Amino acid sequence: MAFRFEILKKDHFSKSRLGRIETDHGSFSTPAFLPVGTQGTVKSLTPEELVEVGVEAILGNTYHLYLRPGHETIGRLGGLHSFIHWERPILTDSGGYQIFSLGELTKISEEGVTFRSHLDGSTHFLTPEKVTEIQRILGSDIAMVLDECVPYPSSYEYVKTSIKLTTRWAKRCLQERKETDSALFAIVQGGVYRDLREESAQALVEMNFQGYAIGGLSVGEPKSMMLDVLEWTIPHLPENAPRYLMGVGTPEDILDAIMLGIDLFDCVLPTRNARNGMLFTSSGKMSIKQAQYAEDRRPIDEPCLCYTCRHYSRAYLRHLHLANEILSSRLNTIHNLFYYMNFMKHIQGAIRENHLLDFYKAHHSHSNGLEIENPAQHHTTWG
Amino acid sequence: MAFRFEILKKDHFSKSRLGRIETDHGSFSTPAFLPVGTQGTVKSLTPEELVEVGVEAILGNTYHLYLRPGHETIGRLGGLHSFIHWERPILTDSGGYQIFSLGELTKISEEGVTFRSHLDGSTHFLTPEKVTEIQRILGSDIAMVLDECVPYPSSYEYVKTSIKLTTRWAKRCLQERKETDSALFAIVQGGVYRDLREESAQALVEMNFQGYAIGGLSVGEPKSMMLDVLEWTIPHLPENAPRYLMGVGTPEDILDAIMLGIDLFDCVLPTRNARNGMLFTSSGKMSIKQAQYAEDRRPIDEPCLCYTCRHYSRAYLRHLHLANEILSSRLNTIHNLFYYMNFMKHIQGAIRENHLLDFYKAHHSHSNGLEIENPAQHHTTWG
């Protein structure tokens, strides 16, 4: 297992860093945004198209792949990379977020978590060891520990008890890890309580993981609270390990978090929005179904160089969306992912050139910065 | 308007011909199979992918485009080719087949046909002149006359009256046609009655269209009856004009019809089957959802060189299908259209080399030649 994180440049005016993560399946630049390949495919696109829009690494959902087609099937077929025809890095989550989203169907114990499949109602029991094994069999390049994801809001007492369990589970994942395994990242929890976030971070850092995620955010809390949690937590994480903000988010949230020192992101927002006809542009969001675009010959975003903007009018994209055509999802997804990847490349360049603050100001003056109604919806649950 | 049909070679042992059709948007070889782009997209694929699988010309459905987004919108946006980013030939049907499929909602008169939109229930009245104008505004390279499509079975008396109306309507389409318009093809009707087919063909041929379609087949009649109708009708069509069998069909039906002298085909079968997980292979049809493929590393069809077969296993394609992923429709459609286009290229080559009879025998011994339960379903109705 080859895993290395190198910081190439630190910004002068913020805590952001330009870096590079190396894995057995190649390297990628950070800050990085990983599109979500829920069920072994970033919805509607081929791997070649992901590369064309600039994607360097993707996320796979352990929960979904464990249930269907099954990690053992994927293992026998040569692992996830080979199965889905994606030769670049894959980060897999632990499935915790999806399992705890099942709510009533989920029972937690010291040993692990029992839940019922959303597909067929069958009962499953997963432990930290099992989740580590599943990710090994999938062959992911970056695996995540099993954590308890507490909802927002949760009481101080509940969260205090929960982070101790998450710490014990993280230790068990680490013990299960083999030298030949992928990198393993811990997940800091602690709700919106400063001392619990600090306690969680410190306990995990002592165990010396290869990277640290900040979980339990973008689950319905106000955005200012998310930024508070990042400000409290990040100083307790080691400088030389990647920091991953799970399930975030909008371009604006990503930029804010990068300025606080986050290196990795994943979110279904660009891909899911695309399928719903919500497009990201240099002047804000656009709903392609609006009647005003019925005969609009312009591309989605005039400065954009993506395949969709080079060949198709808003009028055609509106038609495809209203006609519920598969090509609508494809062309919109290409555009939104290109927008996100281009956004990340600009941020990387701005850090390199010490222009990040200018980029920040320019982005906020050009974008309408629409707030998101329910951030919890941007994690992957059922795809 | 440039339209030219040239016969390059006639087969020695059958009535099949190798030809070339030239249009303002380039030329294509015949016998040709045109995939169906119902609503301005061959479902799930981009134009570049169509070219990659070997497609040279596509069909657009006037009924669907007239209702949504509207031919006038498409006209103002520069025509159908520009709207959908397809620069090669487009054949448009007249909408008759879809309108008459509406059944109860449709009323026919000498002047034209009144129907209610399947989208919003709004009432529309189309005449032969209007249908010709719509296709002109769409900018199709080959337009079809408005005909009455009679169901199977229909009484001799009904069909006898109907073909006279179809002839009068064809004449009105021809009169409406302008010099600058695309080519206009007539449609022979006559049900399963030999003398009515002959009468319909003769009446239309007298008017000197640029091509002749045979309509009202593949609507539920036995296959032997379809072949009878072709044998009765084709001798009454001019040698030097293309002959188009609408809405057909399976590879076996296409091959049989080519041997009787048909040059053009369209059908939703390869694309619709793909979305339902039914794949064409060199050894017959395959249903990708079957449990036997759960861990099958092989491509759909080992000799196939399509993108799907070069990169994906049956196991992955089965998983995508069961997970209802968009990529499933895409990869299956690429394979099935590649299969069809490859089939047509082999037929063209066999005619050129006088090997068509050998090809016919080989195809029937290698393929399981599954019969289709309900051929009527292979026309485009609601996409």
What value of ipTM does the predicted structure carry? 0.96
Instruction: Sort out which chain A residues have CB atoms less than 8 A from B326's CB and list them.
Output: 41, 43-44, 326, 329-330
CB A242 within 8 A of CB A30: yes
| pLDDT for B182 | 87
- Confidence at A364, pLDDT banded by 50, 70, 90: confident
| pLDDT for A179 | 85
Instruction: Sort out which chain B residues have CB atoms less than 8 A from A319's CB and list them.
Output: 39-40, 68-69, 83
Instruction: Sort out which chain B residues have CB atoms less than 8 A from A311's CB and list them.
Output: 85
| pLDDT for B367 | 60
Task: Quote the CA–CA distance of A306 and B189 in Å, as a whole number.
Answer: 47
CB B39 within 8 A of CB B61: yes
Task: Quote the CA–CA distance of A344 and A339 in Å, as a whole number.
Answer: 9
Q: Return the CA Rg of chain B.
A: 20
The Cβ of residue B232 has, within 10 Å, a number of other Cβ atoms equal to 19
In this structure, chain B runs to a length of 383
CA of B104 vs chain A CAs: smallest distance (Å): 24
Instruction: Sort out which chain A residues have CB atoms less than 8 A from B316's CB and list them.
Output: 40, 77, 83-85
CB B205 within 8 A of CB B236: yes
Task: Quote the CA–CA distance of A260 and A235 in Å, as a whole number.
Answer: 10
Q: Which of A77, A138, A298, A380 to mutate to test the interface with B (most CBs of B within 10 A)?
A: A77
Q: What is the mean pLDDT of chain A?
A: 94
B93 assigned to active site: yes
Residue in chain A lying closest to B314 (CA): A83
CB A1 within 8 A of CB A183: yes
Residue A46, CA distances (Å) to A50, A84, A341, B48, B307 in order = 6, 9, 16, 14, 11
Q: Do B77 and A297 touch (CB under 8 A)?
A: yes
Q: Do A43 and B329 touch (CB under 8 A)?
A: no
Is the pLDDT reported for residue A77 higher than 50?
A: yes
Question: In angstroms, how far is the first alpha carbon of chain A from the final one?
Answer: 30
Least CB-CB distance to A325: which of B39, B316, B330? B39
| Residue range A213-230: mean pLDDT, rounded | 95
Give me B76's structure tokens. Answer: 């103002």
Counted across chains A and B, CB pairs separated by less than 8 A come out at 100
Instruction: Give me the DSSP letters along A340-358.
Output: HHHHHHHHHHHHHTT-HHH
| Residues in Cβ contact with A332 at an 8 Å cutoff, skipping those fewer than 6 apart | A273, A274, A275, A277, A279, A288, A308, A317, A321
Mind spelling out the 3-state secondary structure of B277-292? CEEEECCEEEECCCHH
| Residues in Cβ contact with A55 at an 8 Å cutoff, skipping those fewer than 6 apart | A34, A35, A42, A88, A337, A341
| Residues in Cβ contact with B121 at an 8 Å cutoff, skipping those fewer than 6 apart | none
What pLDDT, in 10s, does the model give residues A255-282? 999 999 999 999 999 999 999 999 999 9
Beta bridge partners of A188: A214
Instruction: Sort out which chain A residues have CB atoms less than 8 A from B295's CB and list them.
Output: 73, 76-77
- Residue carrying structure tokens 């999806």: A98
Beta-strand pair B278-281/B284-287: antiparallel
Q: Which residues of chain B have pLDDT under 50?
A: 368-375, 383
Least CB-CB distance to B320: which of A41, A76, A312? A41
CB B327 within 8 A of CB A39: no
Q: Minimal CA–CA distance to B342: which of B312, B303, B300?
A: B303
Instruction: Give me the DSSP letters along B329-357.
Output: HHHHHHHHHHHHHHHHHHHHHHHHTT-HH
Mind spelling out the 3-state secondary structure of B87-113? CCCEEECCCHHHHHHCHHHCEECCCCE
Task: Quote the CA–CA distance of B84 and A317 in Å, as a whole number.
Answer: 9
B147 assigned to active site: no
CB B92 within 8 A of CB B144: yes
Least CB-CB distance to B323: which of A39, A46, A83? A39
Q: Pick the more confident residue, A287 or A366.
A: A287
Q: E strand or H helix at A62, and its extent?
A: helix A62-67
Least CB-CB distance to A85: which of B297, B311, B323? B311
The Cβ of residue A104 has, within 10 Å, a number of other Cβ atoms equal to 6
- Confidence at A373, pLDDT banded by 50, 70, 90: very low
* Chain B contacts to A (CB-CB under 8 A): 39-41, 43-46, 68-69, 73, 76-78, 83-85, 294-295, 297, 311-313, 315-316, 318-320, 322-323, 325-327, 329-330
Residue in chain A lying closest to B67 (CA): A323
Which ranges in A151-291 belong to alpha helices (H)?
156-176, 194-206, 223-233, 251-259, 269-275
Is the pLDDT reported for residue A369 higher than 50?
A: no
Give me A278's structure tokens. Answer: 């919500």
Q: Minimal CA–CA distance to B246: which of B271, B211, B207, B206?
A: B211
Task: Quote the CA–CA distance of B3 and B19 in Å, as a whole number.
Answer: 13
| pLDDT for B372 | 37
pTM equals 0.96
Task: Quote the CA–CA distance of A59 and A42 in Å, as a whole number.
Answer: 9
Q: Do B325 and A84 touch (CB under 8 A)?
A: no
Q: Do A77 and B297 touch (CB under 8 A)?
A: yes
Task: Quote the CA–CA distance of B18 and A172 in Å, as a whole number.
Answer: 70
Exposed, middle or buried by CB within 10 Å (0-12, 13-18, 19+), for A305? exposed
Q: Do A69 and B294 touch (CB under 8 A)?
A: yes
- Residue carrying structure tokens 């032997």: B224
| pLDDT for B364 | 84
Task: Quote the CA–CA distance of B139 and B131 in Å, as a whole number.
Answer: 12
Residue B358: alpha-carbon gap to chain centroid:
26
Q: Which of B58, B67, B77 to mutate to test the interface with A (most CBs of A within 10 A)?
A: B77
- Residue carrying structure tokens 């054949």: B91
What pLDDT, in 10s, does the model give residues A123-174? 999 999 999 999 999 999 999 999 999 999 999 999 999 999 999 999 999 9
